[in-house]
Structures are given as structure tokens and as C-alpha cells.
Structure 1
Amino acid sequence: MMVINRIRKLREIHGLTQLELAKKLNITRQTVIAIESYKYNPSLKLALEIADFFNMRVEEIFEIREGDSTNE
């Protein structure tokens, strides 16, 4: 089981670089990279902040999937 996310797609839709998104969320660019590459699952607090930033529900951004596919 793994948590997948739509951060990269949302960031690109909004025309943001990884650094710009990181600054808006008060996190490092490396954290954005790690989340986008499925190497790090954000805390609940950060997931809620990301959802709030994109004006979406957490479930619209993050999803639990069986297996280890990252074809998102």
C-alpha cells in the first residue's frame, strides 16, 4: 500500500515551480521534491495546508493505493 498524490500536476496547472510552492507552504524545495517523487508522505498538518492552498479536499490530492505503482 502506498500514498499517491497529485501535487506535481496541481503545481504545474497553477504555473508554480517547486521552489515557489515550497515558499508558499513554508517548506523546503527538497520536501516538495520528496513528496512529488513519493519518497515522503507529508504530515496530516502539511497535507491539510496543501489542500487548503489548492482549495481542495485532502482526498482529492492524496489517495491510498494497493501495490507500489506510481503511474499517477
Structure 2
Amino acid sequence: MKNRLRELRTARGWTQAELGQRLGVSRQAVIALESDRHDPSLDLAYRIAVLFETDVEGVFENPHRAP
């Protein structure tokens, strides 16, 4: 699932480890999310959105949205 996680994280000046700590996940999990190798759980997607003060679609592309 395409996302803006790296962009949002770097705009805040956070490392992958810092983001992982804020979310309660490992740095490896952040790497997998940023590289689109792993889709987050719904709970994690909402926690990410809250952390960046946006909605879920502000972080993750909706693959079901009509073009």
C-alpha cells in the first residue's frame, strides 16, 4: 500500500527508530511500512494518522478509490 510515511517522518525530523518508538513498533517495522513491503493493521494505521495529525488517507493511499 503506497504511503507518505517517510515524507511525514522526515518532515518532523524523526529517525525510523524514533517513529517506531512513538508507535510502539520496531525500526524494522517502520522500514517495511515505508518501503511498501508491509501493510499496517487497521489499528496501526489509525495510530500513525493520529500521530501525524491527519486522517488515514492523509498517510496511506486508498487502493479502492475510483480514479
**TM-score w.r.t. structure 2 length?**
0.91
Structure 2 letter corresponding to 1:19: A
Percentage identity across paired residues of the two chains? 47
Give the whole-Å Cα distance in 2 for the aligned partners of 1:64 and 1:11: 20
Deviation at 1:37, TM superposition (A): 0.5
Q: Which residue number corresponds to residue 51 of structure 2? A: 53
CA positional deviation for 1:16: 0.1
* More strand per residue: 1
Q: Which runs of 5+ in 1 are unaligned?
A: 67-72
In structure 2, what is the Cα distance between the partners aligned to 1:64 and 1:26? Answer: 24
| Counterpart residue number, 2:42 | 44
Q: Within 5 Å, give how 1:1-72 maps onto structure 2.
A: 3-65=1-63
Q: Write the deviation string for residues 42-69 of structure 1: whole angstroms up to 9, x where unpaired.
A: 0000000000000000011100359xxx
Give unpaired runs (5+ residues) of structure 2: none
User: Given the two structures, how large is their TM-score scaled by the length of structure 1?
Assistant: 0.85
- Distance across 2 between alignment mates of 1:63 and 1:10: 14
The Cα offsets for residues 20-46 of structure 1, whole Å up to 9 and x where unpaired, read as 000000000000000000000000000
SS of 2:13's equivalent? coil
- In the comparison of the two structures, how many residue pairs are matched? 64
